[in-house]
């Protein structure tokens, strides 16, 4: 973040005029400067203070100003130049009280134009931020915008001051407004703005806006690394159920985030344990196609896992007619949902959708929200994106099922782009 230092702004505002001679190296409103002058007994220490500032000796410059202030009968113009030099020296020295005092005196003189005032306020706010005086940085940045400033840099100063002072609610409100304005204008919100919303919402424990920020980041900037970060943290979320371990892997596979042989092996085994060995076989196939499985010292173990998946798949297929018939006769729809998801995962998504819908209609489900999640997955596998989205929108729950539905919704939308 870059902003003008007060040494630059103030030295560009104050000027020394000795009689009719004008030092053109430091500018002031020309017509007024030529009509006024600084007496030599004041001008000399001021010029020496200016040289000290340029040499980076800010505290020495502040001390030098005492010589100018000791001269009696000072004119408003002389005081203006003294205060300008004080502001410049105080900024470099980190003496914020002197810096603000000098600015207020310069403003009260009526000699500062509004653009000059805004530039100095911008620098004061930035100096407070550098000094980690976040509350005063926030006050001065707010004053800047109240007095008509529009600098994007100052917006960063304001946001940083809010963040470091813990004003997450203010950041969320302000950032949401900016994101909404971008979207209404047909602009893609900047990634850093969405990241800021995500961080502030997380610190504020604002789950609704945390989910909103995640969705927008994945919609606008669907990077594999971002998916990895979000999916990696998902199981650690408070209340997230262990039963969704396989579902997290499904999202990892869909977003290209299966990183190691252990990922493929673990997912295949979880799929088989859940009653979907055909899905497990597909996972092992993909691991081998990616040259992650079937290689090196563990290659034989991977081949044994594949053989197991093939064997289990054949067993499930042989038992399927009887299992489906029993599911149709059951009093509840749990088995129909499970068998329907199996069909969808094996490639017969239309049949899977039909069976899951029958299971939901039959009711008395152990986990009705899970059934809606899997219905959405089956619709997506069938190429019915709008129906998938409608199903996922209806998923409710605080055990992780809503997070998964939300992430599948985002993944399917981003995959279509």
Domains plus CATH for the chain? 6-158 (1.25.40), 174-220 (no CATH), 223-257+330-409 (1.25.40), 258-312 (no CATH)
Predicted confidence (pLDDT) at residue 254 exceeds the cutoff of 90: yes
- Ranking 17-21, 127-131, 359-363 by mean pLDDT, the lowest is 17-21
pLDDT band of 13, cuts 50, 70, 90: low
Distances 255 to 121, 218, 226, 259, 349 between C-alpha atoms, Å:
47, 11, 10, 11, 20
Per-residue model confidence (pLDDT) at position 229: 86
Residue 304's Cβ-count burial label (10 Å; 0-12, 13-18, 19+) is: exposed
Predicted confidence (pLDDT) at residue 16 exceeds the cutoff of 70: no
**What are the pLDDT digits (tens) for 76-89?**
999 999 999 999 99
Residue 22's SS3 state is strand
Alpha carbon distance 350, 384 (integer Å): 10
Only one residue has tokens 């990696």, namely 232
Which range, 189-193, 209-213, 371-375, is most confident? Answer: 371-375
Residue range 342-354: average pLDDT?
96
User: Which tokens hold the place of 69?
Assistant: 């202030």
Residue range 95-106: average pLDDT?
89
Pick from 126, 110, 184, 183: nearest CA to 159: 126
Predicted confidence (pLDDT) at residue 31 exceeds the cutoff of 60: no
Predicted confidence (pLDDT) at residue 25 exceeds the cutoff of 80: no
Pick from 113, 93, 67, 108: nearest CA to 5: 93
Predicted confidence (pLDDT) at residue 277 exceeds the cutoff of 60: yes
Contacts of 188 (CB under 8 A, 6+ apart): 182, 220
Per-residue model confidence (pLDDT) at position 238: 87
Only one residue has tokens 């998504």, namely 349
Per-residue model confidence (pLDDT) at position 91: 85
Pick from 38, 119, 47, 104: nearest CA to 73: 38
Only one residue has tokens 């040259």, namely 291
User: Which tokens hold the place of 215?
Assistant: 């969705």
Per-residue model confidence (pLDDT) at position 273: 96
Predicted confidence (pLDDT) at residue 24 exceeds the cutoff of 50: no
Query: What radius of gyration do the chain's Cα atoms show?
Result: 34
Pick from 45, 39, 87, 93: nearest CA to 66: 45
Predicted confidence (pLDDT) at residue 27 exceeds the cutoff of 60: no
Residue range 153-182: average pLDDT?
92
Per-residue model confidence (pLDDT) at position 237: 87
Other C-beta atoms within 10 Å of 416: how many?
7
**What are the pLDDT digits (tens) for 283-320?**
999 999 999 999 889 999 999 999 999 999 999 999 99
């Amino acid at each position: 973040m870059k902003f003008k230092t007060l040494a630059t702004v103030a030295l560009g505002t104050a000027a020394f005029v000795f009689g009719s001679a004008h030092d053109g190296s430091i500018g002031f409103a020309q017509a007024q400067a030529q009509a006024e002058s600084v007496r030599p007994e004041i001008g000399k220490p001021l010029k020496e203070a200016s040289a000290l500032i340029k040499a980076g000796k800010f505290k020495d410059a502040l001390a030098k100003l005492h010589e100018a202030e000791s001269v009696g009968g000072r004119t408003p113009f002389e005081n203006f130049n003294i205060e300008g030099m004080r502001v410049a020296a105080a900024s470099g020295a980190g003496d914020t009280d002197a810096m603000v005092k000098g600015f207020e005196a310069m403003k009260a003189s009526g000699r500062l134009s509004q653009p000059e005032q805004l530039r100095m306020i911008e620098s004061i706010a930035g100096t407070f931020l550098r000094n980690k005086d976040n509350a005063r940085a926030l006050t001065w940045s707010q004053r800047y915008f109240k007095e008509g400033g529009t600098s994007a840099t100052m917006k960063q100063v304001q946001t940083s001051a809010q963040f470091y002072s813990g004003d997450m609610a203010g950041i969320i409100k302000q950032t949401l407004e900016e994101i909404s304005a971008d979207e209404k204008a047909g602009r893609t919100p900047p990634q850093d703005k969405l990241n800021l919303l995500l961080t502030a919402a997380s610190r504020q424990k604002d789950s609704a806006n945390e989910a909103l920020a995640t969705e927008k980041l994945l919609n606008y900037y669907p990077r594999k690394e971002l998916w990895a970060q979000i999916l990696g943290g998902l199981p650690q979320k408070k209340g997230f159920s262990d039963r969704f371990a396989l579902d997290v892997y499904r999202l990892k596979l869909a977003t290209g985030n299966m990183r190691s042989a252990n990922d493929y092996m673990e997912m295949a085994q979880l799929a088989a344990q859940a009653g979907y060995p055909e899905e497990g076989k597909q996972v092992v196939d993909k691991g081998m196609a990616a040259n992650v499985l079937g290689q090196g010292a563990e290659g034989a173990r991977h081949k044994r896992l594949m053989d197991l998946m093939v064997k289990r798949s054949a067993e499930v297929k042989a038992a399927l007619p009887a299992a489906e018939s029993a599911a149709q006769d059951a009093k509840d729809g749990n088995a129909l949902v499970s068998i329907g998801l199996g069909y969808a995962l094996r490639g017969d998504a239309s049949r899977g959708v039909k069976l899951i819908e029958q299971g939901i209609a039959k009711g008395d489900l152990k986990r009705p929200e899970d059934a809606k999640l899997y219905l959405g997955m089956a619709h997506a596998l069938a190429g019915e994106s709008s129906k998938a989205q409608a199903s996922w929108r209806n998923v409710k729950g605080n055990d992780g099922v809503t997070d998964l539905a939300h992430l599948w919704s985002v993944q399917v939308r981003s995959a279509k782009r």
